[in-house]
Structure 1
């Protein structure tokens, strides 16, 4: 593949980048997935695989496929499309005729570049939400995301193991949004904020052993000052995901009972 692809799991659009570093920067800024090999796509569900295949097949004039024999087959076919699209020559744009310029132009004053805030994932809720089955990963997602502090990727990664980041992001957009009707919003918080939300797995360079509810405001200030003096970087932000309920709902739909095992 001559370029690295990023994929938007909310609508399955894609973009190519000249280097892995560029792709990682775009993925981090927009909560997109990175495709470096067919294995990166093997965690897609059947519906997701068909949707992404259709998106990558259309520019190549290939007919969409309703379903594949397996996830591996879908991943391979999608990867073949991405490789073909990345190798396609870019269509040259017509050069605009330059406008006449004065003989001497004043030198433009350099402007300081503003730091870009990551956009994060945004999924609008549907009119209604549907229940999850208790004990499933969908139920775990609802429980973690609906907490006041939401859930960081580090916490989701632990709770949903062995899911990888790409599968988790797919679960946020597809399982929560398309299948269950919930929305997703993203905030970006630093390590101290995640400690206050009691997410000990997403604190980065911030270090604390106590529960924030057990610490006085004076002790919190002292702990923050100590961290700042010992390498804590408050500019390091983490994506934190929150569940958005359909209009009129006050709480997520209660989970249904777990599937009963077959009687012996």
Structure 2
């Protein structure tokens, strides 16, 4: 009986609309995956799968809203359910923002999650104009994020910023930063990653963002740091 009811309902479905809605979901998988891949390769809290789920989820909500409206147009507000996506995505985005040692991280990822949700809503809502705007937005935003990550800090500071990973004895941290200061190296930010015990010694693993003085190369700096007995590992990250 139940199966017969489903079969009868399927017979009444607008096949053209069904196909279009399925294609919307597939388009959101592609859009969410493309933007999420850039976050994934940078090991961000929200990556490939998360962005696909957010984009497709927003699309499904928009499709649900459309179907409910088509079934009962007189008593349905076309924007009511979608509005909850716009406000609700903020909670997911907030989970990607971290405050570490004076530096706020994850804001770009949170903003991109919000954008992907908006793109999912646009595609899920249907309409040629929405498709075109969503496609253009995805095509423009992705390279913009990649380029800004690569050149943004260099443009803003006038000097290239390097990231190094360093493993050193904890008791020599003060001397390490004194070395940077006397060498003309500018520390942009640093954050602690891990503590490792090596025999009786406590080793500290950190990532440091820095700018070099004119005339100094990164290899020269790494060689100078490697000469210290208290520094166990140092490399570009």
TM-score, normalised to structure 2's length? 0.27
TM-score (norm 1): 0.25
Higher helix share: 2
